[in-house]
Chains A and B, each alone.
Chain A
């Protein structure tokens, strides 16, 4: 009897392990953040912008809910867009989050989506690598370094 229980448990464990491994790579969000960068920003400029490319290599949609950095009092997510009259306008991201659908990539870039760094703690200079934590709905927190440079 004891032997049967033991074999049953062992088999279950093996099956469970196999199941976990089989699904590991593809299931859930697999967020990667590449090329996080920003321009130098003097103290006189009230706001700075950070950009990055966000890739979702998983099979589950995800959303960027916000971001934090010790270099900024607060970070907001905004989008520059061309208005009907050809002028450039800016608006907070729709729904307060940036969607990163499964298998797709979203580019935060000048003139488009960007992270707005407010209440800078100090001047942001070329060569700085600013720690940035991105909060994703499913992938959780992802930490990156923002490279400050003139592209």
Chain B
């Protein structure tokens, strides 16, 4: 009699544990709401090779990592530093997971942005960042592959010209597919949240 009672009470204990487990599984499987725009049928990200200070950089060499792809220029005072600073902070929010993320900035100002200048510029935002450039023709070809508009502005400033450009931050997944596009204005927390989800899968 007393033995069966003890058995019964241990069963009672198992019920909340099982419920807790179910909640845990549900939490793990919960749908993720992306902050960026998801590309529903992701296509392979067009491959390219451009020049960094350390030598040629080929996008497909980063297969297995998640790549953040950004087109910008070092003279850019407002938009590019905002996005690059937020991306850098997103990596710091990801902690160890950041090792699996590579940001590549492609210059839309090949006339002024030398590989060395780009290198120094991007490292300011995060030491892991890579900056690449090429001939004006190479840049035009790569920008076209990604639907990136860029054009020297007719408005100039005292010390040079400005470049108007598409300022989205694109995400290429581990399999090399263009997966997600963040609009300008995305926060570090939003980038980190989406990357965390993509990296987990």
With A47-B77, A90-B164 in contact, is A111–B157 under 8 Å at CB?
no
Chain A residue nearest in CB terms to B162: A90
Given A89-B164, A91-B155, A44-B79 contact (CB < 8 Å): no
* Chain B interface helix/strand/loop/mixed: mixed
Tell me the bound Cα distance from A49 to B83 in angstroms: 13
CB distance from A149 to the nearest CB of B (A): 11
Residue tally, chain B, CB below 8 Å to A: 29
A57 located at the interface, meaning its Cβ lies under 8 Å from any Cβ of chain B in the complex: no
**Known A44-B74, A76-B157, A116-B157: A88·B89 in contact at CB below 8 Å:** no
Number of A-B contacts (CB under 8 A): 95
- Quick one: which of B142-201 are within 8 Å of A by CB? 149-150, 153, 155, 157-160, 162, 164-167, 184-185
Contact A118:B159 (CB < 8 A) given known A42-B124, A44-B120, A87-B149: yes
Please, which residues of chain A bring their CB within 8 A of the CB of B165? Answer: 87-88
Neighbour of B120 across the interface among A42, A47, A78, A118, CB < 8 A: A42
- Complex: A90 Cα to B124 Cα, angstroms: 23
Contacting residues, chain A, for B34 (C-beta < 8 A): none
A104 beta carbon closer than 8 Å to chain B: no
* Contact status B82-A118, CB under 8 Å: no
Q: Mark B78-122, 1 if CB is under 8 A from A, else 0.
A: 110110010001000000000000000000000000000100110
Q: Give the Cβ gap from B70 to chain A, nearest Cβ, in Å.
A: 12
Contact flags (1/0) for A116-128 with B, using CB distance below 8 Å?
1111000000000
* Secondary structure class of chain A's binding surface, majority of residues: strand
Which of A46, A76, A117 is in CB contact (< 8 Å) with B74? A46
B158 A118 Cβ-Cβ under 8 A: yes
Q: Which residue of A lies closest to B76 (CB)?
A: A47
Which residues of B38-77 have CB atoms within 8 Å of chain A's CB atoms? 74-77
Q: 14 interchain pairs (CB within 8 A)?
A: A39-B85, A40-B124, A42-B121, A45-B77, A46-B159, A49-B78, A74-B159, A83-B164, A87-B165, A89-B164, A90-B79, A91-B155, A111-B185, A114-B77
Residues of B within 8 A of A (CB): 74-79, 81-82, 85, 89, 117, 120-121, 124, 149-150, 153, 155, 157-160, 162, 164-167, 184-185
Q: Which 7 A-B pairs have the closest CB atoms?
A: A47-B77, A89-B164, A88-B167, A110-B82, A44-B120, A87-B166, A42-B124
User: With contacts A48-B77, A88-B166 known, what are 14 further pairs, Cβ within 8 A?
Assistant: A39-B81, A41-B81, A44-B124, A45-B124, A46-B77, A47-B76, A73-B159, A87-B150, A88-B79, A90-B155, A92-B155, A111-B184, A114-B77, A150-B85
